[in-house]
């Protein structure tokens, strides 16, 4: 397994790592950077638990070859509470009871973040669409959708 130097922005900081460029971004994040907040639910892009932002767009990190992030910017769930604070999206998730087992939660939060970056005032339909690639078995999505709506309000009123 040949390794290559991969340089990219990770949660706002420049990083460099020697890694197999054909292994997944998900494994790179979890194994090389110990960023275990990004979860592996299927490894096939079918559940969204591994959602991270790549240049501000939600992507399945399990489907991204590590080499692809060279020169780009990756953001994981850990970026949202970097300085010990909590993001309004996370606050809203807790407030609305949107977290049950929590395994889909980091991916959901990242999909919500991608949505609100692009569309600060989404309607319920747009919210459903934005998380349609994130499976959740516990919640039936209702409290998650309510949380994202609440988060939009929180961010906009700031």
With CB under 8 A as the contact rule, the residue among 7, 42, 120, 153 that binds other proteins is 42
Taking CB under 8 A as the rule, does residue 32 contact other proteins? no
Query: Three-state DSSP class for 94?
Result: helix
Q: What is the rounded CA–CA span in Å between residue 140 and residue 155?
A: 25
Q: How far apart are CA 75 and CA 110, in angstroms?
A: 9
Q: Does 21 bind other proteins (CB under 8 A)?
A: yes
| Angle separating helix axes 105-118 and 142-156, nearest 10 degrees | 40
**Residue choice 38, 75, 116, 151 for contact with other proteins (CB under 8 A):** 38
Which of 155, 50, 134, 140 is closest to 92 using CA atoms?
Answer: 155
Q: Is the dihedral of CA 63, 65, 66, 70 positive or negative?
A: negative
Which CB, 70 or 156, lies closer to other proteins? 70
> What does the block give as tokens for 63?
């489907």
What part of residues 88-107 is at the interface with other proteins (CB under 8 A)? 90, 93-94, 96-97, 99-106
Q: How far is the CB of 104 from other proteins (least distance, A)?
A: 5
Query: Which lies closer to other proteins via its Cβ, residue 23 or residue 157?
Result: 23
136 lines the binding site for other proteins (CB under 8 A): yes
Minimum distance of other proteins from residue 3's CB (angstroms): 8
């Amino acid at each position: 397994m040949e390794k290559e130097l991969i340089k990219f922005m990770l949660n706002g900081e420049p990083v460099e790592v020697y890694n197999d460029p054909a292994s997944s971004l998900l494994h790179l994040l979890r194994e090389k950077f110990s960023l275990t907040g990004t979860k592996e639910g299927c490894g096939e892009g079918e559940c969204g638990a591994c959602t991270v932002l790549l240049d501000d767009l939600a992507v399945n990190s399990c489907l991204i070859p590590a080499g692809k992030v060279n020169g780009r910017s990756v953001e994981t769930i850990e970026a949202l509470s970097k300085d010990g604070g909590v993001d309004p999206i996370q606050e809203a998730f807790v407030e609305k009871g949107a977290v049950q087992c929590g395994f889909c939660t980091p991916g959901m939060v990242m999909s919500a973040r991608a949505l609100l970056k692009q569309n600060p005032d989404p309607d319920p339909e747009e919210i459903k669409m934005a998380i349609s690639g994130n499976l959740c078995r516990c919640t039936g999505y209702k409290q998650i959708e309510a949380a994202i709506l609440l988060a939009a309000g929180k961010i906009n009123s700031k």
